[in-house]
Amino acid sequence: MIADKDGIRFATPEPVAEYRAKRLKCKVIADISCGIGGQALHFAKYCDFVYAIEIDTKKIAFAKKNAKIMGVDNIEFIAGNSLSPEIIEKLPELDVVFSDPARPPSEKKRSIDNLRPSIPEVMKAYSDISSNFAFEAPPQLSPESIPFDCEREYMSLEGKLNRLNLYFGELKKADISAVALPGINIIRKTGVYDTASGNEEPARYAYEPEECVTKAGLLGQLAAELKNEADDISVFEIDKKRTLLSSDSMIKNSLFKNRYKRLLISEPDFSLINSYLKKNSFGKVIVRAAIEPEKYWDVRNELESCLVGERKAHLFVKNDKAILFEVLDD
């Protein structure tokens, strides 16, 4: 792909573009804010025909070049404002309208209202030629802050929350869902589950979910779905930012990012933790607690003082308890 700096920055990562293209596979699709074509080129692989519209003439020139380089000939590129009636008039009936809209780069707190083109405007402008819409929205937004009747699909890529997709019309398969890429592991909301244990300490094993599952609010449901494999499994909240599942049974699931074995629960006393780690051949300790970023390495250096072993521990802090885990091998 060729592009300017801005175009590359906002281009859709390949595994995301590929997943979305498969999910939105249809005869005729329009990508109405196509940028340099990161997503549109993948639509062209799965759909018969793609209309790709972009307001920035430099970006659409790159998108055309990218299509040429890749030998793609089933995209019609249209330069202009995708909300303008003159452009919409030229389009046939569309099976799907997709938009990955622009968002203000300097925005401090993401808002669904600041997307350009805006979701309500797109739906209104295209209502005569389509009833199936898909949008990308900022993944920082909670499901409750999306004021539309649509599926909210949170997506993780390589273990990090990466995208939020909104699906309308026949594209909607659930109210909320989560998908972890690149393996394509999906969970869809089927009901309301609260399996929080309220326990102060984790059981023998702990499971760190993919961020998309937590952001989608589907951790309770994941726990409920795993009950037949681990009947004691429950949600173990460590702090506002970190929530695990915990059980005395050792299980595997594709929506787990990490699986841990509990090592030690103690006072958060650095010398006590350090001597445990020394005695048990640990060399590193990843600190997973709410510490100010500028203090992180001071804390870690103190905990790792004189450690020479090969093993790596993960340290969480719940209330006033330090909890040490080690990642389980697959």
Residues that bind ligand SAM (CB under 6 A): 10-12, 32-39, 53-56, 59, 81-83, 100-102, 116-117
Q: How far is the CB of 136 from ligand SAM (least distance, A)?
A: 7
| 57 versus 301: smaller Cβ distance to ligand SAM | 57
* Token pair 């409920």: residue: 224
Q: How far is the CB of 122 from ligand SAM (least distance, A)?
A: 9
Q: How far is the CB of 169 from ligand SAM (least distance, A)?
A: 20
Q: How far is the CB of 325 from ligand SAM (least distance, A)?
A: 38
Shortest CA distance to 313 belongs to which of 302, 299, 303, 298? 303
| 117 versus 202: smaller Cβ distance to ligand SAM | 117
In the complex, residue closest to ligand SAM by CB: 38
| 33 versus 221: smaller Cβ distance to ligand SAM | 33
Q: How far is the CB of 111 from ligand SAM (least distance, A)?
A: 16
| 121 versus 200: smaller Cβ distance to ligand SAM | 121
| 25 versus 261: smaller Cβ distance to ligand SAM | 25
